[in-house]
Amino acid sequence: QMRRGTCVREISLAKGVVRYIGVRQGITLEITAFCSHPAQVMVLHYQAAEQKTFDATLSVARQRASDSVSVGTKEIRLSSELKNGMRCRAAAVILSHGGEQSAVPGHMILKAVHSFMVVIAIETNYLMDDRQNWRGEEPEGKIAERLNEVRGQSFDELFRTHCADYQSLFDR
């Protein structure tokens, strides 16, 4: 049992993960984050200890006035375009366990959840080829393909795949 106001932050180079355990509004939360090379996504996992529940509101920060954010039933999307035509798209799929998950303009609201996972994919239309004017495939299709590949996988599955891949590089 952790005291209110205490937390533990851990960066594990051996596993390629960042962990945070702390008390928020009287509930101990464990947050695990990693970037999966095999899946090409960032994964954030939030879980309450002792089967307790918690509330959360998720949103995406805009960098420019022209950026747009859209929220669906399980996804938050950010679209951005620079003046030079470079396009960036980010999608965050939110999968909660227990409680309720609802979308409102600009936010995803989670109520009384035991845990939730955010899977983030980011793409641009950049191509390292000056003959193509540095532009390649539009980012939307690449993001959809990547998220379809991980759709249905649990946090544990994504984590195991990440660890196995990471260990093959770290322990060589």
Are the C-beta atoms of residues 46 and 62 closer than 8 Å to each other?
no
Q: What is the pLDDT of residues 39-87, one digit of tens each?
A: 999 999 999 998 899 999 999 988 888 999 999 989 999 999 988 889 9
Q: What share of the chain is helix, strand, coil (3-state, %, to 5)?
A: 20, 50, 30
Are the C-beta atoms of residues 54 and 120 closer than 8 Å to each other?
no
Q: What is the pLDDT along the chain (172 residues), one digit of tens a residue?
A: 666 667 899 999 988 999 999 988 889 999 999 999 999 999 999 999 988 999 999 999 888 889 999 999 899 999 999 888 899 999 999 999 999 999 999 899 999 999 999 999 999 999 999 999 889 999 999 999 999 999 899 999 999 999 999 988 887 6
pTM: 0.91
Predicted local confidence at residue 6, as pLDDT: 78
Predicted local confidence at residue 2, as pLDDT: 66
